[in-house]
Structures are given as structure tokens and as C-alpha cells.
A and B are shown apart, each in its own frame.
Chain A
Amino acid sequence: MTTLTNKGSAAILCEVADVIVENRTYLSEIDGKIGDGDHGFNMSKGFDRAKGRIDAANDTLDAAMSTLSDVLMSEIGGSMGPLYGMMFADMADALSGKAQIDAQTFGEMLHAGLEGVQAIGEAKVGDKTLLDTLVPAIETYDAALGEGADWATALARMTAAAEAGRDSTEDMVAKVGRSSRLGERSRGVLDAGATSCCLILVTLARGIEARLPA
């Protein structure tokens, strides 16, 4: 079975951090249309700080996720601090102690992350939040594995589902968070959280694919 060595996979999370930092202004611009325009600034501050505390070559992926979670929860705040803080904390728990990560473990990690988000937030699918990216991405990933797809294929399908999920938020009316006060006027703009969640999932998938044995 195809596996990834956990130790040293912290580098994948550093790649996620780089992508978030690159998209700092873009995420804030999206957020500014229906929110307060700070999503990209706060996310990039948190991910960049965490990257500075991660030993990319030697840390495990779960250690890197724990570091990121600590920074988000204790230094960033806002709404995204606790939401992504819980997501990465619970993802890290799912990987903890594993020398190797395989397709099954990665799926368990995704589910743990989703449960972490749902434990603290109140949103449902369709409310124009990061769940609109995360939930279909996980469902598609599960379905792919259920059909016997290999890990790379399942990751590719997850990526497509995450992007479609992100795009689906454009035509949604926000039901929770600050933008929910806009009602109908929140329609027509991507949700910033769904967009950053998509960047995270897609970059994780890309990082794993690049490291899988040919």
C-alpha cells in the first residue's frame, strides 16, 4: 500500500503556509466585500508565524499541525483562529503516533478536522462557510476510496470537489457570521473561509501527491 512517512511531512504544512501568505491580499479582498476584510491578513500572520516554528525537514505532519493550531488559537483569534485552530488540533490527534500515513489515515484525519470545526462552530452545509468546501471534499474522498481508487486519484477527486465546493458559495446567502447580516446582499461573492479552506486542502493534496512513490 502507498504510504507517506510522517516524519518530515511537516514540509507539506509549510507549503500550505506559503500558499496562504501568497493569497493574503486576495483573501482579504474577498472578505472585504461582505466581511471586514481581515481574513487574509490574520490567516497569513498565523500561518507564517507557525511556519517559523516548524522544523520542516524533521517534524511530523501532526506536530506541524499542532504548532499551527497553537498559534491560531492563542495568537490570532477572530473567527478563523478557533475554527482552524480546532480543525488542525483534531487533525493532528488523528495522525498522532503514526509512523506512516496512508489513504485511510488521511481520510480519518479529514473527518477529525471536520468534527473539530463542527464542535466549535454552528454552521451547516449551505450556510456559506468553509464547511461548503470541507464537507463535499471529504465525501468525495471517501467515495473515491470506497470505489477502490488509489490515493492519488482520491486526492485528485477531493481537490476537484473542494474547488467546486468553494465555487458553490458564490451563489449562497450567508447564514452565520458577520456576513449573515447582509442577507441577500451576501450573494454573488465567494466566501473567504471556503476559499482559504480550499487552498489548504488543495495544497495538502498536492504536497502528498508530490511525495508519493511513483
Chain B
Amino acid sequence: MQRFINNPDDIVDQTVRGFVRAHADRVRLDAENNRVILSNDTPKQGRVGIVTGGGSGHEPAFIGYTGRNMVDAVAIGELFSSPTAKSFQDAIRAVDGGAGVAVLYGNYAGDNMNVKMASRMVAKAGIEVATVVANDDVSSAPKDEREKRRGVAGEIFMWKIGGAKAATGANLHDVIASAQKAIDNCRSVGVGLTPCTLPAAGKPNFQIEPGMMEVGIGHHGEPGTRIEPLKPADAVADDMVEIVLEDHDMPAGTEVAVLVSGLGATPINELYVLYDRMADRIEAAGYKVHRGLVGNYFTSLEMMGATLTIMALDDELKTLLDAPTNVPGF
């Protein structure tokens, strides 16, 4: 493996230590749990706390979105594996300012169970918890089974909106409503060009043959909806826009936010190549791009590929999306 690794078992601890050192002006490690990162701004009395969490290997997600007016605490799991219920519990406790805590996370079996257990544990301590479960990946289940879909890069918009709403002093109900609206307004699709390797395994656990691409691939290499020969960037961009727009009932003239994220090993310049064409197609379909985000926002170790997320905006979402934040990832 051509990777920067010491002992594979230590990689998450070392990632977290490095992250906290690099961004000490914005984040700190929880005093008791080294798998919980906190914003330096949290807790704030009377303010709804924002918690998320998930497996490692997606950096800058999830930790990179910790800071002022976005995520207050992140529970950190092993590579591609849900954080413990204990870590979610500690994250919730750390950010509780008496106004309740919104846990905004992605739809994965382990995260669902661990958040559920953590919510039960903190309920005993009198902390009110409400959740939004992201399900923006259109390829992971049919439209009439949206509750089964995975959460992917749309989570970033959900955190941005939820965190900005909490910063206005809104109550838990309203923070949840805005975060839910954000993810309901998001649709995403991923295209993978190469597999990724968990260092402890030493080899990829799935394959994408050279010259092929996997459309609809998940953030952990979950198989996509089709495998086909790799096409020129514009044709791939067209397919991705089509898949997202087909699933997304947006009236003409809708303003949108567009997020193109690399999956880890794709050069950033290629993401701009994709974005240029995607923005063309989105505008040609009658939509107005209010804001475009291009870069490595939500990765899958060293997978090559990209995801596209389109969020339909209204006045509230636009204001909250553009509100200032100091998180390292956004």
C-alpha cells in the first residue's frame, strides 16, 4: 500500500490528534472521550447543540465541520464503522446548553442503533434529543423507499443549515425542522472509478476494473446501480445531473446549491471539469445556481470518483447556507 500509515489500529487516534492540533483555534478534544471532538464555542447556555458522528475515512467529514455555527460535537468511529453509543452520548452531554440537542446523522444501521441507545441514555439525564437522518443518496433505494436511502454529502448541507439555525437562537423543534427541510431538499449521486482499501485489510474489498466506472456507488464502496465503460468527463457529468434531477421535483426557476465532492484520490482539477459541465446542464434545465462548492468535502479514503449533491433553496435555506462559519471543512 502506498499510504502514510503507522500501525493501522492507531490510525483513527492519530488522525484525531493531528486534527485537533492543526485546528486548535476552533476545536478541542473532549476531556474524557478521545473519540469526541468539540467546537471551542460549545456549550452555549440556552442554545440548541448540534451533534453528528460517523465512521472515519471520510475526512474532512465528519470532524472538519466542527466549529462556530455549524457542528458542535462529532462522535468519531473506526474507519467506516459507526461511533459507539457511548461516544454519541458523550457528544450530546458535552454540547447540552439546556435547550436540547439535535443529532443530525446519516442513515446507516450502526449509526441508527448507536444514536438510539445514546438518546435513551441521555434521556435519563433530562437532555432532550431530536434527530434528523440524512437520506440523500438517490441510487441507494427507489424513490418510494426514501427512508431506506443512505446519507452522503447532503449531510454537509444539513449540518450547515441546522448549525446556522441553532445560531439564531431557534428552539429544538425549529432547528430540527430546518435541518429536515435541508436534507429533504437534497439529492446526491456518486460515481466511483477505483476501489478503496482499509489499511487493516491491506487490499480493497471490491473491484472496479480499469476503464470502467460504477454509477451510484456508496461512500464505503457499496455497489452502484450500473457498471459501464468510463466516459469523457462531460458525459459522466451529464449522467450525474440527470440522475439527480430526475429524482428531484423542482419547479423551473428554483435556486439551488451544488456540491461536487471528490471521493479522496481524484485530482481537484477534474472536479472543476465536472462542475463546469454540471452547472451548464443545471442551468439549461431551468435552475439558478446560487452557490457552488467544489472540492474534497466528503471522501472515501483513497477512492477515485466524485459525488454530486443538489439542494433546492428557499429564502430561509439561502440565508442559513450563507451565514458565516469558521469550520475547517466548509
A residues near B (Cβ < 8 Å) are 28, 32-33, 36-38, 41-42, 45, 73-83, 85, 120-121, 176-178, 180-182, 185
Q: Quick check: is B269 within 8 A (CB to CB) of the other chain?
A: no
Contact B81 A77 (CB under 8 A): yes
Q: Mark B173-198, 1 if CB is under 8 A from A, else 0.
A: 00000000000000000000000001
Report chain B residues within 8 Å CB of A79.
82, 109-110, 113
> Contact residues of B with A, CB < 8 Å?
9, 77-87, 108-110, 113-114, 116-117, 140-141, 148, 150, 198, 200-201, 205-206, 218, 220-223
Selected A-B contacts with CB under 8 Å, 23 pairs = A36-B220, A38-B78, A38-B201, A73-B117, A74-B86, A75-B84, A75-B86, A77-B78, A77-B84, A77-B85, A77-B87, A78-B77, A78-B82, A79-B110, A80-B110, A81-B110, A82-B85, A177-B109, A178-B108, A178-B109, A181-B141, A181-B223, A185-B223
* B117 & A82 in contact (Cβ 8 Å cutoff): yes
What chain A residues lie within 8 Å of B9 (beta carbons)? 45
A37 to B200, CA, bound (A): 10
How close is B124's CB to chain A, nearest CB, in angstroms? 15
Q: Given A78-B110, A181-B218, A73 and B223 touching (CB < 8 A)?
A: no
- List 9 extra interface pairs beyond A73-B84, A77-B78, A81-B85, CB under 8 A: A32-B201, A36-B198, A38-B200, A77-B83, A77-B85, A82-B117, A176-B109, A178-B220, A181-B148
Task: Specify the chain A residue showing the minimal Cβ separation from B75.
Answer: A77
Bound-complex Cα distance A33 to B113 (A): 23
Q: Which residues of A contact B206 (CB under 8 A)?
A: 32
Residues A181 and B222 in contact, CB atoms below 8 Å apart? yes
**Which of A33, A36, A182 has the most B CB atoms < 10 Å from its CB?**
A36
Q: Are A182 and B84 in contact (CB under 8 A)?
A: no
Among A38, A81, A85, A121, which residue has its beta carbon within 8 angstroms of that of B80? A38
**Complexed CA–CA distance, A33 and B108 (Å):** 18
Q: Which residues of B contact A178 (CB under 8 A)?
A: 108-109, 220, 222
Complex interface: chain A residues within 8 A of B80 (CB)? 36, 38
- Listed from nearest, the 7 A-B pairs whose CB atoms lie closest are A32-B205, A79-B110, A77-B84, A74-B86, A37-B205, A78-B81, A82-B113
Bound-state Cα–Cα, A38 to B108, Å: 15
Chain B neighbourhood of A121, CB < 8 A: 109, 113
Q: How far is the CB of B205 from chain A (nearest CB, A)?
A: 3
A42 to B198 Cα, complex, angstroms: 13
A172 CA to B114 CA in the complex, in Å? Answer: 26
**CA separation between A173 and B55, bound complex, in Å?**
25
Q: Which residues of A are found within 8 Å of B221, using beta-carbon distances?
A: 36
Q: Which residues of A contact B110 (CB under 8 A)?
A: 77-82
Complex Cα distance, B59 from A203, in Å, reads 39
Residues of A within 8 A of B77 (CB): 77-78
Which residues of the other chain, B, contact A180 by a CB distance below 8 angstroms? 148
What separation, in Å, do the CA atoms of A141 and B319 have in the docked complex?
61
Enumerate chain B residues within 8 angstroms of A76, measured Cβ to Cβ. 84
Task: Give the shortest distance, in Å, between A108 (CB) and chain B (any CB).
Answer: 24
Closest B residue to A31 using CB positions? B205
Q: Is the CB of B117 within 8 A of A28?
A: no
Cβ B108 vs Cβ A37 within 8 A = no
> Which of A32, A73, A77, A78 has the most chain B CB within a 10 Å cutoff?
A77
Q: Is the CB of A73 within 8 A of B218?
A: no
Residue of chain A at shortest CB distance from B8: A41
Cβ contact within 8 Å between B78 and A181: no
Partner of B201, one of A37, A77, A80, A182: A37
Question: How distant is the Cα of A32 from the Cα of B222 in the complex, in angstroms?
Answer: 11
Interchain CA distance A41-B117 in the complex, whole Å: 23
CB distance from A75 to the nearest CB of B (A): 6
Known A32-B205, A83-B113, A120-B113: A77·B198 in contact at CB below 8 Å: no
Contacts of B78 in A (CB 8 A): 38, 42, 77-78
A45 to B198, alpha carbons, bound, how many Å? 16
Give Cα A165 to B175, complex, Å: 45
Q: How far is the CA of A36 from the CA of B110 in the complex (A)?
A: 12
A18 to B: closest C-beta gap in Å: 19
**Is the pair B82, A38 in contact by a Cβ cutoff of 8 Å?**
no
Give the residues in chain A near B114, CB-CB below 8 Å. 77, 81-82
Contact, CB under 8 Å: A77 / B220:
no
B140 contact from A42, A77, A181, Cβ within 8 A: A181
Chain A residues with CB under 8 Å of B109's CB are 79, 121, 176-178
- Establish whether residues B223 and A182, one from each chain, have CB atoms under 8 Å apart when the complex forms: yes
Q: Shortest beta-carbon distance, A181 to chain B, in Å?
A: 5
Known: A82-B113, A120-B117, A178-B220. A77 touches B205 (CB 8 A): no
